[in-house]
Chains A and B, each alone.
Chain A
Amino acid sequence: MSTTDATASRSVDVDRAIPDRAFRTGALAGVLVLTASYVSVLLEVTGVVGGTARLLAVVAVVFAAATLLARAIAVRTAVGTALLFGAVGFGYYFTVTGVGVGTALGSLDRLASDTIAITTGMPLLRMMAVDSWALAFAPGPVFLSWYLAVRRRYVLGVLAGGIALAFLVLSGDAGVATTLAGTVGGIAAVGFGELELRRGTIAQADVLAVLFAAMVVLSLSVSLVPGGTPGPTVLIEGQGTDGSLEANSATAPEETTIAGNVSLSPEVRFTVRSERESYWRTGVYDRFTGEGWVRTGQQEAFDGRLEAPPGETETVNQTVTVEDDARVLPAAASPVEIEGDVREITERTDHGQFHPSEALIEGDRYNVESAVLNASSEELANASTDYPEEVTAQYLQQPEGVSAEFEDATAEVVADADDPHEAASAIEEHLRTEKGYSLNVTRPDGNVAEGFLLEMEEGYCVYFATTMTQMLRTEGIPARYVTGYTSGQQVDDNEWVVRGLNAHAWVEAYFPGHGWVAFDPTPGGDRDDVHYDRLEDARENNESGVDTGASEDVAAGPEGNTSDGPDLDRVEVENAPINVSEPAGGGVGPTEPPSEIPDGALPNDRGPNGSAEPGIDSLDPEGGNGSANATDGDDGEGDGEREFPPSSPETAIVGIAVLVGLAAGAHRTGATARVSRSARLQYQGRTAGPDADVERAYRRLEILLERRHRPREAGESTRQYVEALSGTPSFDPRARRVEELYERSTYGGGIDRAAANEAIDLVDRMAREELPAIGRLYTAGRNGR
Chain B
Amino acid sequence: MTDANTRDRPHDPIQEDRPTAVEPLPTEEAADLCRAVTDNVAGVIVGHDEAVEHVVTAILARGHVLLDDVPGVGKTMLARSLARSIDCRFRRVQFTPDLLPSDVTGVNVFNQKTREFEFQPGPVFANVVLGDEINRAPPKTQSALLEAMEEAQVTVDGETRALPRPFTVIATQNAVEPDRTYELPFAEVDRFVKKLRLGYPDPDEESEMLARTVGHHPIEDLEPVTDLESVRRARETATRVRVEAPVREYATRLAGYTRDHARLGVSPRGTISLLRAAQARAVLSGRDYVIPDDVQYEAPVVLPHRIRAGSDDPEVDGTAIVERALERVAVE
Q: Is the CB of A714 within 8 A of B327?
A: yes
Q: Is the CB of A717 within 8 A of B244?
A: no
A716 at the interface (CB under 8 A from B): yes
22 contacts between A and B (CB under 8 A): A10-B330, A714-B327, A714-B331, A715-B325, A715-B326, A715-B327, A717-B292, A717-B296, A717-B331, A718-B292, A718-B331, A719-B291, A743-B291, A746-B244, A746-B246, A747-B247, A747-B291, A747-B292, A748-B242, A748-B244, A748-B287, A748-B288
1/0 contact string of A608-634 vs chain B (CB within 8 Å): 000000000000000000000000000
Neighbouring A residues of B287 by C-beta, 8 Å? 748
Q: Is the CB of A717 within 8 A of B330?
A: no
Q: Which residue of A lies closest to B250 (CB)?
A: A717
Q: Please report the total number of A residues contacting B with Cβ < 8 Å.
A: 19
- Min CB–CB distance B305 → chain A (angstroms): 21
- Min CB–CB distance B64 → chain A (angstroms): 27
Q: Is the CB of A715 within 8 A of B331?
A: yes
Q: Bound complex: CA of A743 vs CA of B328, how far in Å?
A: 21
Q: Is the CB of B290 within 8 A of A747?
A: yes
A233 at the interface (CB under 8 A from B): no
Neighbouring B residues of A770 by C-beta, 8 Å? none
Q: Bound complex: CA of A5 vs CA of B327, how far in Å?
A: 10
A residues contacting B by CB (< 8 A) are 1, 5, 9-10, 12, 713-720, 743-744, 746-749
Q: Is the CB of A717 within 8 A of B328?
A: no
Q: Is the CB of A714 within 8 A of B330?
A: yes
Which of A9, A719, A748 lies in contact with B330, CB distance below 8 A? A9
- Min CB–CB distance A106 → chain B (angstroms): 68
Interface centre among B293, B325, B329, B331 (most CB of A within 10 A): B331
Q: Is the CB of B242 within 8 A of A749?
A: yes
Closest 3 CB pairs of A and B: A9-B330, A748-B289, A717-B292
Neighbouring B residues of A5 by C-beta, 8 Å? 328
Q: Is the CB of A749 within 8 A of B289?
A: yes
Q: Bound complex: CA of A588 vs CA of B249, how far in Å?
A: 69
Q: Please report the total number of B residues contacting A with Cβ < 8 Å.
A: 19
Q: Is the CB of A717 within 8 A of B246?
A: no
Which of B247, B290, B325, B331 lies in contact with A716, CB distance below 8 A? B331
Neighbouring A residues of B327 by C-beta, 8 Å? 1, 713-715
- Min CB–CB distance B195 → chain A (angstroms): 21
Q: Which residue of A lies closest to B324 (CB)?
A: A715
Q: Which residue of A lies closest to B246 (CB)?
A: A746
Q: Bound complex: CA of A5 vs CA of B331, how far in Å?
A: 12
- Min CB–CB distance A17 → chain B (angstroms): 13
Q: Is the CB of A717 within 8 A of B289?
A: no
- Min CB–CB distance A12 → chain B (angstroms): 6
Which of A715, A718, A720 lies in contact with B328, CB distance below 8 A? A715
Q: Is the CB of A747 within 8 A of B289?
A: yes
Q: Which residue of A lies closest to B287 (CB)?
A: A748
| Number of residue pairs A-B, CB distance < 8 angstroms | 52
Q: A719-B291, A720-B293 are in contact. Are A747 and B329 (CB under 8 A)?
A: no
Q: A714-B330, A715-B326, A715-B328 are in contact. Are A749 and B244 (CB under 8 A)?
A: yes
Q: Is the CB of A714 within 8 A of B293?
A: no
Q: Which residue of A lies closest to B247 (CB)?
A: A747
Which of A714, A744, A749 lies in contact with B329, CB distance below 8 A? A714
Neighbouring B residues of A714 by C-beta, 8 Å? 327-331
Known: A717-B296, A747-B242, A748-B287. 5 other contacts (CB 8 A): A715-B326, A719-B291, A744-B289, A747-B244, A748-B289
Q: Which residue of B lies closest to A716 (CB)?
A: B331
Neighbouring A residues of B296 by C-beta, 8 Å? 715, 717, 720
Neighbouring A residues of B326 by C-beta, 8 Å? 715
Q: Bound complex: CA of A715 vs CA of B331, how far in Å?
A: 6
Q: A717-B296, A746-B244 are in contact. Are A12 and B330 (CB under 8 A)?
A: yes
Neighbouring A residues of B325 by C-beta, 8 Å? 715
- Min CB–CB distance A28 → chain B (angstroms): 31
- Min CB–CB distance B84 → chain A (angstroms): 35
Q: Bound complex: CA of A714 vs CA of B330, how far in Å?
A: 4
Q: Which residue of A lies closest to B296 (CB)?
A: A717
Q: A714-B329, A746-B246, A747-B242 are in contact. Are A719 and B289 (CB under 8 A)?
A: no
Which of B246, B247, B290, B293 lies in contact with A719, CB distance below 8 A? B293
Q: Bound complex: CA of A12 vs CA of B332, how far in Å?
A: 11
Q: Bound complex: CA of A743 vs CA of B247, how far in Å?
A: 11
Neighbouring B residues of A719 by C-beta, 8 Å? 291-293
Q: Bound complex: CA of A717 vs CA of B246, how far in Å?
A: 12
- Min CB–CB distance B258 → chain A (angstroms): 14
Neighbouring A residues of B330 by C-beta, 8 Å? 9-10, 12, 714-715
- Min CB–CB distance B331 → chain A (angstroms): 5
Q: Which residue of B lies closest to A718 (CB)?
A: B331
Q: Bound complex: CA of A749 vs CA of B243, how far in Å?
A: 9
Q: Bound complex: CA of A5 vs CA of B330, how far in Å?
A: 9
Q: Which residue of A lies closest to B330 (CB)?
A: A9
Q: Bound complex: CA of A340 vs CA of B242, how far in Å?
A: 106
Q: Which residue of B lies closest to A8 (CB)?
A: B330
Q: Bound complex: CA of A245 vs CA of B66, how far in Å?
A: 98
Q: Which residue of A lies closest to B290 (CB)?
A: A747
Q: Which residue of B lies closest to A12 (CB)?
A: B330
- Min CB–CB distance B152 → chain A (angstroms): 29
- Min CB–CB distance A737 → chain B (angstroms): 16
Chain B stretch 17-65: residues in CB contact (< 8 A) with chain A: none
Neighbouring B residues of A9 by C-beta, 8 Å? 330
Neighbouring B residues of A1 by C-beta, 8 Å? 327
Q: Which residue of A lies closest to B243 (CB)?
A: A747
Neighbouring A residues of B331 by C-beta, 8 Å? 714-718
Chain B stretch 278-332: residues in CB contact (< 8 A) with chain A: 287-293, 296, 325-331
